[in-house]
Amino acid sequence: MRTFEFIIENDVSDTIYNVTWNCSDGLDSIYSTDLEGNQSLYDYLQHNYSSPGQKTFGCTVVSNDGAESKAIVFTLNGLEIENFDILSNNASWRVVSYDVRNYFIPMETNISMDDGAAEYSRVTTLASNENIFVFAEQNFSSDGSKTFTISLNSENYTNDYAEAFSLEGVSIENYNRHSSGTDQIFSFDVRNNWNPSVVVWNISGVLSNSSSLDNDELLMVIVENNYTVQGKKQAIITARSSSYEDTITDYFLIQPLLIQSLITLSEDDSEAVSELIVENTINNTQQFSWRLDTQEENITSNLINVSDNIFVYIGSEYNDEGVYNIRLNINNTNYNDSEKRGVVIS
């Protein structure tokens, strides 16, 4: 049952004649009336709804001077699913609970729940404002993405609720990578969240292994690998238990021989002096040569030994004033690097 307050206002000084109204669900005026200037008319309308859900209630007022309509939208609560909670989360087991409350007239309803592994159903009658507590326990046979779906069905009303969650059979935790030149040290933990099982874990292109882990057991992994080929690298760390796989992807650059810095120390109207710092990031001494393209000449070097860092100073001459884009390249048999910068001759 809902009660509506209905107000008709005459906001002018003249009398309005033959005022009638009609509202939703057949609630109409049984007489006509006149409203004197600045007079209001109050009416209270009641309607007994046979089903819950979203409703629209509207009224139209008609008089000799015209008409006007207004409507409101509201919701009548019916069977509601409330207070959904996962009470226990242990490996493959999940224990859930929720309340079913009837905010409407007494209704018989079928309460069903589907978790992808099993379906439960129960028919019960709930009085107005009565609620029941529902408790369910499920042991899943596989991990991965899951959904609890709860459905309430009565003769003239339905309501659904879905709760998505993931059963992670295994997880990679506390991942870290320490870089020392071409040596990369990977460290991470592998945790078995599932029942006791064999967990397979690997680092792409480096190592693959497996370990038997109990539920909630943690395995600490530390792996060192020396990357000897220059360039961008991608390390994919994976761990799998049952059907679930956890993955971490890491990107890094291997540069055994690199230009750490290229700066211009001095510039004037005919020459410039540049400082080059070359870094060797591997443990062994390397030989390299350099070439500087000044846009007016190419300056090259003989082979130079470098065990750590080396400073090289290069003087270059220019015939004309202007802005020059210089390019410096270093290389040896296996590795190379390059750098650009501008030089102003004025």
pLDDT tens column, 217-267: 999 999 999 998 899 999 999 999 877 889 999 999 999 988 889 988 888
* For the chain, percent of residues with pLDDT exceeding 70: 100
pTM tops 0.85: no
Contact 195, 215 (CB under 8 A): yes
Distance of CA 127 to the CA centre of its chain: 42
Average pLDDT over residues 56-76: 92
Check for a shared fold between 79-167 and 257-345.
yes
pLDDT digits (tens, 9 = 90+) for 114-173: 887 778 888 999 999 999 999 888 888 878 788 889 999 988 788 999 988 888 889 999
Half-sphere exposure in the Cβ direction for 333 (13 Å, CA):
3
For the chain, percent of residues with pLDDT exceeding 90: 43
> SS in 3 state form for the chain?
CEEEEEEEECCCCCCEEEEEEEEHHHEECCCCEEECCCCEEEEEEEECCCCCEEEEEEEEEEECCEEEEEEEEEEECCEEEEEEEEEEEECCEEEEEEEEEECCCCEEEEEEEECCCCEEEEEEEECCCCEEEEEEEEECCCCEEEEEEEEEECCCCEEEEEEEEEECCEEEEEEEEEEECCEEEEEEEEEECCCCEEEEEEECCCEEEEEEECCCCEEEEEEEEECCCCEEEEEEEEEEECCEEEEEEEEEEECCEEEEEEEEEEECCCEEEEEEEEEECCCCCEEEEEEEECCCCEEECCCEEECCEEEEEEEEECCCCEEEEEEEEEECCCCEEEEEEEEEEC
Domain 2-76 adopts which CATH fold?
Answer: Immunoglobulin-like (2.60.40)
In this predicted structure, what is the pLDDT of residue 239? 96
Going from N- to C-terminal start, the domains of the chain cover: 2-76, 79-167, 170-254, 257-345
Instruction: Name the average pLDDT for the chain.
Output: 89
Give the CATH number of domain 79-167: 2.60.40.10
pLDDT of residue 73: 95
pLDDT confidence of residue 320: 86
pLDDT digits (tens, 9 = 90+) for 37-48: 889 999 888 888
Model confidence at 209, pLDDT cuts 50, 70, 90, reads very high
Residue among 315, 249, 256 at smallest CA distance from 280 = 256
- What architecture does CATH give domain 170-254? Sandwich (2.60)
pLDDT of 296 strictly over 90 = no
Residue carrying structure tokens 């300056």? 299
Give me the pLDDT at residue 136, please.
86
**Residue 174 in this model has a pLDDT that exceeds 80:** yes
CATH, domain range 257-345: 2.60.40.10
